[in-house]
Structures are given as structure tokens and as C-alpha cells.
Structure 1
């Protein structure tokens, strides 16, 4: 119990940092769209992808992100303190309302991709994949008489990780899930337990798709310093700002809040898996509840490969092969790019979100990935290709081979 409390305290600080990272990234993309970030010349030198501090303050005021210029400066200083933005020469640690050049670290490749950030980015990617899955394991489920939206049993999450190539063993999957919990990305629905490969229910603490308002994020950070608590927010509901964060009276996230069970509630708790015995599913400390022992059908959550057959690199490169080469440019938005790659030498498009930038650019399932931003990836596995996209620029240029139908 003491260890769980310690994990929770650490998760508080990490979750707030995650909120700042998401809000900063949403702001960066918005400024790019508004042409506020561009190459600028100063003292016979050109600084790429910069913004002028004074212009950003004007923008924050005009878009009602700050009530006054002093507050706007504090907002950007908060981003600077969290290594989201920096002075182009790294000579200033204080943000000022002046004609000074600053830059997002994501735009110049100086963003610190440490272990914490990598786990955060992986958690975000897993969340997006689960949300996009039509047979997602994120469902309305019951534990101890309370139902929780978008919850999942620990054992099913590890099953999903294994079947989607995110973990090579149950032990590795368990370690990943505990790292996600330690960094404030997932949690037990009642915040009582560590992560176990069992029927206990868990949820994502962070809704990566919710739009955030910087001013409220700053006020929440000041509130957390006094109380040691992290923000639990509700979904954006017809708000006029692209960066909205709101706190409700119960301090719960509307996307993941619990609701009292009704008689007509359909439970979606899976039964025992044949590959493990009951002791492995339910450790002694947490015996199975009567609900979890009921024979309920296990939801499908492992889509098979979209390929009709396996294709080798030699087949793709053979003269006269039935494939069309295309070069497609995908400009990511606040949610990412909208495609999922699978396979190894070669990789292929397993899924494409219909409303995503990838779909708009012409990305289709069954396309094979040849190059990413000019780099040949034909002989790389999907993990390496995904990493190249995730850690690269917002605009991704893909060379693909599309089967001729």
C-alpha cells in the first residue's frame, strides 16, 4: 500500500508534465497553421522555425488564451520551464514580452527524448491505437458495484500488447504496464492497486485527444503545488478555444469517469483465458470477484493482417512487379498522422484512420513502406519505422508501393 501511494505521488508530477507537453504540442501545431512560426533573419543570420516573443503574446491575447500580457508571459514561461520552448541561442532562461526569437524544441530537434518522454509517447501511441480499434478492449466495465467507462482488465491489456507486437512476453508486457502506471498514464480504476496481470480494471489517466487551454493548465499547476494533486478534467464540450482544460466539481475526467451500475448495464468482463490458470489470472492478494468468474464472451481485439499473403522485399523490387510507386506527404495534426504500420522487411499499412491526415494524403491499407523522409526502410521492422515517424518532423514524406488491383 505504501508503494502504491509513492507511485501515485510521483504520477501526480509526471501527469502534470504530460499535460504541459500535450498543451505545448497543440499550441505549436496551431502556431504553424497560423504562420506565426517561420524562418526569421536577425543580424545577417537566418533562424528556422522561430516565433517572436512579442507576436506570440499578441496571439495569445487575441485568441483569449490569456486575460492580459502579464498572464500570457507566465504561460509561455511555464512552457520554457518544462523544456517545451527555448531561446534560439539558449542564452535566456526568462521569457520576456519583447522582440526576441524563441523556438519550440520539437522544431529544432533539441527536445529531450529521455526515458520519461519515451514512455509518455508510447502511452499516447497505445491510447490512439486502442481508441481507433473498432473492437477495442476499452469498454464500460464493472468492479465492486461501480461501472467505469473505457476500462480494461489488466490481463486483456497484456494479451493485446502481445498480439499487436508491443511486447514479446507477458513479463515484458507487465513491466511496460507498470512503467505506464508509474508515469501517470494508466491507473487502477479505484487507485488502490499496482498493475497486475489479472482481472482487475484499469484506465488511462490521460485523454490525449482532449484539447487544452494553457491559462487553465497554468492555474492548475499552481493549485497542485499547494495541494499536491493532479488535474482530473472533463471533455471539451463546444468550447471556443483549441486548448481547453476544465475542472469539474468531482475532479473527474468525463471521458473516464465512473457511473453507478444500473440493472440494464451490459458488462464486458472477460472470462478466464485458456493459456493461464486461475492463480495466474488472480493473484492471492486479489481474488476473482463473482462477476469476473461468469462466462462472458471475450471481445475480439486482435485484427489479423490486412495482407492476403506474405510479400518479400525481393518480390517488391522485382522488374514488372504488380505494384505502383507513390510518394505521399502526410502533415500530422494534434492527434498524430493516423496510420498504423505492421510487419518486418517489408512493413505495410495495417490501418488508416478515415478522418486523419494520412487518409487525406492518400495512404491506404496494404501499401508497403519503402522510404520515410528519404531514408530507405524496406528492410526495417515496424518498430523502427514507427520510431522514425514519431521522432521526426511533423511533415512526413513516405514512398510506398501500392498493389495493383
Structure 2
């Protein structure tokens, strides 16, 4: 009987997890389209429609930004968003997405997004996630269970304490009910998928990383599962089904420093300080697929020491760069230690726009000198700091 209940909860959580991923991807797309000025007030037949986009222009944009390989795939992606009530035709004349000069709009932009119980739980979970990850002494940590390491974990009783201390719940009973709702909606889970939520030392984790940048093509998988991540996931760059000729998330040529892995998923590399490092194991997923790990070879041409960087007359220059993070992070990967370096940069992210490049060494973060720190500590400084990030970097003079 208990096993049947647990299996039922797992099935519902998986379905709701997929819906949550669609909502996150849709919101990230909405913000990007606003930044690109594709969403704006448009006039048609003597009437002004605020905050709209033209379907054909969006299809072109998706292909140009490598979010879709062709127009057919782009239409499928937009149809997925329509079926989840994220976008709609401005007059609701069409129930499907047409690759034409028609006006569509995000329901969040016109106030028609349906706030069902499911959506409210999702939004509550996202708010809790941001508050937890932004805490100076966050209860979300990498923890080990049965020899496996899991990301964004917390004991159930510690979460209950945190919710009460931060005014998110008035009693332990209310806090347990909230956490059970989060679990049933696929936002958190027991690390071994064996238990519902209890006010105990059982270990749970956020199943959803709200800060990870989604690739829209992920939405075409009905059995959408969490992607394997390392501890600094807001900086990690991933691409599903990478192709050597169409890889917008590679920062160096694939046949030089980084090998492209032809697999449904790939993990990010770990610290390169003192050797290749290791990979964090992924928690068992419902119907999980094999994970192929990418080559953790550094983009650095040779090892550089702090003494070399700071020595008088050295062929290096220091730069100050300001990065304003967007809804999904800053768009770069830090690796190594003493000194750390930029391993990869999302070409469409805030970091690239600000001037961050691979092989730059990180000198300071928000006024704090970091040459003596490892990449995990630097990542923590960035994640717990303000949205506007001021970094000093050192790069070779060309």
C-alpha cells in the first residue's frame, strides 16, 4: 500500500516537474525577447496591441540564436508554450502557433496567465529557492548519502526550522504541509526517492534548479528529467544533443581543448586545480538515462602562478568588468584555483556582453581579492552577492 502511494506521488511529481520546466523556459524566453526588443507595442488595423511579438520574427530569432535548428522545430516549441497557456494569439483567434505575420503575446505580459493552485505552489517554491540560495549560511548544501553526493540538499527538520524562523510558516505543521505540497508538485524530493516529506533528519533536495539556463529544445522531451549539475550550476553551460557544427555553448574550438559529447546529457567539468578532479554523482531519476561525461581538459595553454601574474613587467593587463545578471545567472564558468580562470562563456549571456573571455584570471569579485581562492569559493561569492557583479580580471597582452 505504501509503495503504491509513493509510486503515485512519483508519477504526479514527474508530470508537474515537466510543467515547471516549461514555465521556467517560457519565462526565460520572455525576458530575453524583451531585452532583444522583439516584444513591443504594435499597431494593426488602427489598434495598438501592447507587448506583442510577430510569430515569423520570433521564428527567425529562434533559428538565428540556435534555439531551434529549423522552422518546424521552432513552431513545435512555440506550440508547447501555447499548450501550457504561456503564450497566446492576441485575439485568441488561433489555438495553434502559425509561422506568419500574426501577433502573439505572453500571458504574463497581459495579466491572463492562469494562477491555479499548481502555479501558486510553483511560484512559492521558486521564491523559497531564491531566498535559500541567497542566504549567507544557506541550509542548501552538497551532502553525501550512501556514498553518493547530491546537490541543493537539506535535512527535513532544518527546512522546517528555516521556514518558521524566516516567517514562511507559523507552525511546524504548516511548514510540513508546505514542504509536502512542494514535493508533490515535483519541486523537492527525497534524495533516494523513497519517502514523502517528514519533519526528520531525512535528506531532501530541490529537484529544480531555477537558475539554470534552459535550452528550449529540452521542452520537446516529454520525460524531462533534471540535468546533472555540479555545485556552481548557475554558471554551467549545457547544450542538449550537441552537434559539432551547431554548438553555441562552446567557448573554444571543439577539436582543441573541449571535446563535444554526443549524448542526451552531459555534465560540466569540475575543478582543474591539482588534477582533473572528479564528477559529482547524479541522484537516481525516474526513468533516468545514462549520462556521458565531457572531457574536463582545461582551456589554459599552460599552468600560470599568482607570482607570474603579479610580477613587474609581466605580459598581463588588469581589467574591471561589470556584469548585470539576468533571470538565469551571469553566463560564465569559473574553474581551477590559485588563480582561478574563466573556463567557458555563454556567447548569449550577460558575461559575454560585458567582455568576459575564456582564459582570463579572476583577480577580485565585488572588491574581494580572490587570487588565493578555489573556484567553489569564488562561485559562492558570486551567487550570494548582488545581481550586479564587479569583477577584476587579468588577461594576457596580445
The TM-score normalised by the length of structure 1 is 0.60
Shift of 1:238: 3.9
**Equivalent position to 1:19, from 18, 21, 24:** 21
- 1:336-373 deviation per Cα after TM superposition (whole angstroms, max 9, x unaligned): 9xxxxxxxxxxxxxxx964326x99xxxxxxxxxxxxx
The correspondence for 1:207, drawn from 202, 206, 209, is 209
Question: Which residue of structure 1 lines up, in the alignment, with residue 54 of structure 2?
Answer: 52
SS at match of 2:42: strand
Once residues 118 and 384 of structure 2 are traced to their aligned partners in structure 1, the CA distance between those partners, rounded to angstroms, is: 28
Partner of 1:248: 265
Q: Distance in 1 between matches of 2:167 and 2:152?
A: 22
Q: Give deviations 1:277-298, integer Å, cap 9, x for gaps.
A: xxxxxxxxxxxxxxxxxxxxxx
Map of 2:200 onto structure 1: 198
**Structure-2 separation of matches of 1:46 and 1:7:** 46
Alpha-carbon distance change, 7 to 67 in structure 1, aligned in 2, over 3 angstroms: same
Q: Distance in 1 between matches of 2:185 and 2:163?
A: 18
Change (3 A) 1:249 1:356: closer
2:5 counterpart SS class: helix
RMSD: 2.7
Provide TM-score, normalisation by structure 2.
Answer: 0.61
1:355 aligns with 2:386: yes
**Residue of 38, 54, 57 corresponding to 1:36:** 38
1:257 maps to 2:282? yes
Question: CA separation in 2, counterparts of 1:241 and 1:212?
Answer: 12
Runs of 4+ in 1 over 4 A off after TM superposition: none
Please give the alpha-carbon distance, in whole angstroms, between the structure 1 residues aligned to 2:266 and 2:74. 26
Residue 114 of structure 1 deviates from its aligned partner by 1.0
Contact 2:143–2:151 (8 Å) recurs in 1? yes
Match of 1:189 in 2: 191
Report the alpha carbon displacement of residue 151 of structure 1 after superposing the two structures with TM: 1.1
**What residue number does 1:393 align with?**
none
Asked whether 1:74 is paired with 2:76, we answer: yes
| 2:136/2:384 contact within 8 Å kept | no
| 1:122 counterpart SS class | helix
Pairing 1:297-312 to 2, within 5 Å after superposition: none
Alignment counterpart, residue 120 of structure 2, candidates 118, 121, 140: 118
Q: 1:241 to 1:55 in 2, by over 3 A?
A: farther
What's the CA shift string for 1:264-310, capped at 9, x where partnerless?
xxxxxxxxxxxxxxxxxxxxxxxxxxxxxxxxxxxxxxxxxxxxxxx
Q: 1:44 and 1:108 mapped to 2: Cα distance?
A: 20
Aligned to 1:400: none
1:343 matched residue in structure 2: none
Residue aligned with 2:105, SS: strand
